[in-house]
Chains A and B, each alone.
Chain A
Amino acid sequence: MTQQRRKPRAFKGQQQLREWRLSVICNFKNLMMPKTCLPPTGMPPLSALEIRTSKPTSQRRSLGNWSRNADSDKTELLAGQRKSAAFWTFEYYQAFFDVDTYQVLDRIKGSVLPLPSKNFVRLYIRSNPDLYGPFWICATLVFAIAVSGNISNFLVHLGQPQYHYMPEFRKVTIAATAIYSYAWLVPLALWGFLMWRNSKVMNIVSYSFLEIVCVYGYSLFIYIPAAILWIIPIEWVRWITVLVAMCLSGSVLVITFWPAVRDDHRRIAIATISAVIILHALLAVGCKAYFFDAPQIEVPGVSGSIASVPRFC
């Protein structure tokens, strides 16, 4: 780290140090058991520091699960004591699937239509992150890409006599690995990075791991219709689809994560946001390049040489 300015944390006494430690542990526990960890003093920690930074109370620090209004604090505190099942019981995981159909549909709609004033996490997730959306959207995307890729390859190579149709089942495993890694490892890295930055610089907003997984999972939804549109074997249609999909879901991600890095050093904030966008773009372009063959321009002289490849019957 070549940074010259590295402000050490200044704690005014053991009480604040202890509170800070407990809040970090609390935050970590909230990763595993949402809504179960309350801060030690019953108020969001670092309140003294917030007063020092003199931010308005409407933007008080949220550890991802507590809202800002005073009257909903009570409900949030009560909700935080709702379930504290151990992680080896079934009820613990049921807490992650506590969504209704209309909620899932609302979240999908919110991930596709970015509005600058509406933070996806605050508006839709709102302390009820679910794992249903990320898991099944990724599964659908895996099969959508594999099936569409297969169909599009078939259409692209339709007229060629030497092409032999293959279901290409291996590509399903490759697609599954790529998409699930993106949807689960990138949020892990991002969450770790944001936690690390939070320990150095006071951030107003921070998200729990499950909320980041939720945002990433739902933001992948736009690629499902994009993958279906990629069946059309026209190159510029595919590129336009890629761009539109990337812009829509990328902007949802940016709107979500900008408040979390806004207070950091300028360069780090921009680097983080750029990394988020670049990884998102890489996934789209990579999938398109690997699973969808480019439509070839028919050259009469070339096809004769390909037919001479021996076939292992």
Chain B
Amino acid sequence: MAEVDEASKPLFAGLSDVSISEDIPVEGEITVPVGSPSHDDEYSTLDEPVKETILRDLKAVGKKFGHVMYPKKSTTLLRDWDLWGPLLLCVTLALMLQGGSADSKEDGGPQFAEVFVIIWFGSVIITLNSKLLGGTISFFQSLCVLGYCILPLTVAMIVCRLVLLGGTGTASFIVRFIVVVASFGWSTFASTAFLADSQPPNRKALVVYPVFLFYFVISWMIVTFSPSHSDGATDTGP
């Protein structure tokens, strides 16, 4: 065999003997076929305008938003995971939730960093929990699903802020409460629809419960959001 011969010769000595000449038939094609598909071969994403790049990513994010709002068992979120959507939602929610300035005596609502940390650390811990229990989902896929399913709660937060512009009475509280409860149920249901298939069958409840707790905590922060201590001009006068 060729290997036995080469062992007795110095290294790389046999390579100079090898050449592809015309009389040795070579199988297969090594050239890119030139034709109408060549337009894609020369077109790389480096050359496209920036607007198209951004729009493509935004469309992907938007499509996933649609999947969350109408959750049915699909693998789109899992297959093409990305973390832009969760980042966008998390920043929006944290911006809207931060409770007033850091007043000296007032133990107000969560600050921006606290909301951010809760959402991301909570997602990481839930993902670790599901993987430790034997789930087959990958780390970033799970982060993606949990982040995207915050969308109903973000919508609820926007609605709550709009309702709070109208007043802080009991009626507005009841409206806010109902909206937040509905979106909490929606979030949990959506994330369960995406995550359930990847878990071992007799541990599904063990995996779903932390997700429930996570969205419950976020809903609690949304329901208890009261901007009056940051505005300082509402109930009690000077």
| Interface 9-mer from B77-85, B144-152, B202-210 | B202-210
Q: Does A161 contact B (CB under 8 A)?
A: yes
Does the CB pair A132–B133 fall under 8 Å? yes
Q: Of B209, B217, B226, B232, which one neighbours A313 at CB under 8 angstroms?
A: B232
Chain A residues contacting B225 (CB-CB under 8 Å) are 167
Q: Does A180 contact B (CB under 8 A)?
A: no
Does the CB pair A170–B104 fall under 8 Å? no
Chain A residues contacting B114 (CB-CB under 8 Å) are 169
| Interface 9-mer from B40-48, B61-69, B86-94, B105-113 | B105-113
Inter-chain CA distance A311–B234, complex, in Å, is 12
Chain B residues contacting A102 (CB-CB under 8 Å) are 202
**B-side interface residues, number (CB < 8 Å):** 37
Chain A residues contacting B133 (CB-CB under 8 Å) are 97, 132
Q: How far is the CB of B82 from chain A (nearest CB, A)?
A: 24
Chain B residues contacting A97 (CB-CB under 8 Å) are 129, 132-134
Does the CB pair B233–A313 fall under 8 Å? yes
**A-side interface residues, number (CB < 8 Å):** 30
Q: How far is the CB of A69 from chain B (nearest CB, A)?
A: 27
Interface string of B187-229 (1 = CB under 8 A from A): 0000000000000001111100110010011001100111011
Residues of B within 8 A of A (CB): 99, 103-110, 114, 129, 131-134, 202-206, 209-210, 213, 216-217, 220-221, 224-226, 228-229, 232-233, 235-236, 238
Does the CB pair A165–B129 fall under 8 Å? no
A-B contact pairs, 22 of them (CB 8 A): A90-B131, A90-B132, A101-B203, A132-B133, A136-B210, A161-B236, A164-B228, A164-B236, A165-B226, A166-B107, A166-B108, A166-B109, A166-B229, A167-B109, A167-B221, A167-B226, A169-B109, A169-B110, A169-B221, A311-B238, A312-B103, A312-B104
Chain A residues contacting B209 (CB-CB under 8 Å) are 136
Does the CB pair B206–A99 fall under 8 Å? yes
* Nearest chain B residue, comparing its CB with the CB of A170: B107
Chain B residues contacting A140 (CB-CB under 8 Å) are 213
Residues of A within 8 A of B (CB): 90, 93-94, 96-97, 99-102, 104, 132, 136, 139-140, 143, 147, 150, 161-162, 164-171, 311-313
Inter-chain CA distance A139–B229, complex, in Å, is 29
Q: How far is the CB of A265 from chain B (nearest CB, A)?
A: 42
Inter-chain CA distance A166–B110, complex, in Å, is 11
* Nearest chain B residue, comparing its CB with the CB of A133: B206
Does the CB pair B205–A167 fall under 8 Å? no
Q: Of B109, B206, B236, which one neighbours A101 at CB under 8 angstroms?
A: B206
Most buried by B among A90, A102, A132, A147: A132
Does the CB pair A101–B205 fall under 8 Å? yes
Q: A162-B236, A167-B109, A169-B110 are in contact. Are A143 and B213 (CB under 8 A)?
A: yes
Q: A100-B202, A170-B107 are in contact. Are A164 and B235 (CB under 8 A)?
A: yes
Chain B residues contacting A165 (CB-CB under 8 Å) are 224, 226
* Nearest chain A residue, comparing its CB with the CB of B223: A167
Q: Of B105, B129, B228, which one neighbours A132 at CB under 8 angstroms?
A: B129
16 additional A-B pairs beyond A97-B129, A100-B202, A101-B202, beta carbons within 8 Å, are A99-B203, A100-B203, A101-B203, A101-B204, A104-B206, A136-B209, A161-B236, A165-B224, A165-B226, A166-B109, A167-B221, A169-B99, A169-B109, A311-B238, A313-B233, A313-B238
Q: How far is the CB of A223 from chain B (nearest CB, A)?
A: 16
Inter-chain CA distance A102–B114, complex, in Å, is 35
**Nearest 5 A/B pairs, CB to CB:** A313-B232, A97-B132, A167-B224, A100-B202, A101-B205
Chain A residues contacting B226 (CB-CB under 8 Å) are 165-167
Inter-chain CA distance A114–B78, complex, in Å, is 45
Inter-chain CA distance A108–B133, complex, in Å, is 18
Most buried by A among B203, B217, B228, B235: B203
* Nearest chain B residue, comparing its CB with the CB of A309: B105
Q: How far is the CB of A90 from chain B (nearest CB, A)?
A: 8
